[in-house]
Structure 1
């Protein structure tokens, strides 16, 4: 495969640099194009994938407490396992969006010496072009990683000035949907980088960084956005405002299949 030397370099770098389990360990920086078999799905992907799975060997120390694997994924539609030293940590999220993923690494999953991380397609094998990378083993739990800064959001209607049900989207400087501490409850529904709130109010924690926050409510409403830079320890409040731009009296909304 044309990109095989590229992958060998990545594996060599990861394999030769041993770090303490108390330090972040970068496993891959660029995104790697994977496809198990078959023709490419879209012309936006190269005809030849870099490999059919990702296998990385690296040196580390054993983890006595839970740590976390951070990664970025794109265009995942089938089932892909993430495996560390023969133990499945979880699966990539079956979602085509560019998004981040955190997977807990249980105690004693890492071992002192050589470790192996694999990402491979499982179950019924259907051609699935994906990109995965920016993988880092973090020394802390996911809750600690996500607690560097706090963001409180209020979205109101332009006319009534009252809170309004809406969809909030949070992306980083690359446009990637980001992980946050937000969870689904009676007031909101959450997936990576997206919060559907019933009253326009939400609060969550996330790592320090540069973000853009969008608020909207279907095609009949406009979009508002805010850019924010968060440093460790920051607690910021953002206010957004959206208004109806398309009149819809007499129309029925439905999702037919």
Structure 2
């Protein structure tokens, strides 16, 4: 059996699953890097105190808890395949819900806001989930999606980058993730799904950064590297070479562009309803 055939076939059981040592710390680094931009996008929707919100792929829960604070008279449902790190302490209007969003459904018009960060890119059913999220919105509600558009490994001028991320691309493909083309299409897909008033922000992420992204990238390399070595796609020496390169003060390499887009469901659009229970 080839190494690729032995790779996980879905994200929850892959390199970044919740049972992996260090995953909680990695998620906290992800929050430190990403929360500022995420909050900016969410504020742009005009968050209301009484909004009902759905957070898909809650991770360690910082966005869900922040939404609960911003919408004290509303409610936040935080869905993740594994919610062990999503604490609702101090947030009586926050409900962590363990489950696979692909097998869930909600009453049409249940939410004023649906948000997901770095999740849809890992779900093969991502296009159908955009349609489902729009259906779950009330007329006038907002869908906010953010995912990375990763640079092709082969385009890097650095051999350790080409070797490591080339192997990682094989792992992504095996589990049905789209880390290159999906994010670029998010704004257009929101428009095709019937949303309007679409806005987009982006951020360039570079290996070699010393700030929050640099710390997150180092954690990703450690965790994904161990997984790829275990699967036989890389040698440990190749992981070590990339780690050493990232520590070189003269090194920099654009690794991804994070794309975040949001759009509003028109007033009077079909799909209005009440309640927020799964059907």
Same fold by TM-score greater than 0.5: no
- Select the structure that is richer in helix: 2
Flag the structure with more relative contact order, 1 or 2, with Cα contacts below 8 A and sequence separation at least 6: 2
Q: Structure 1 length normalisation: TM-score?
A: 0.29
Q: Structure 2 length normalisation: TM-score?
A: 0.27
- Select the structure that is richer in strand: 1
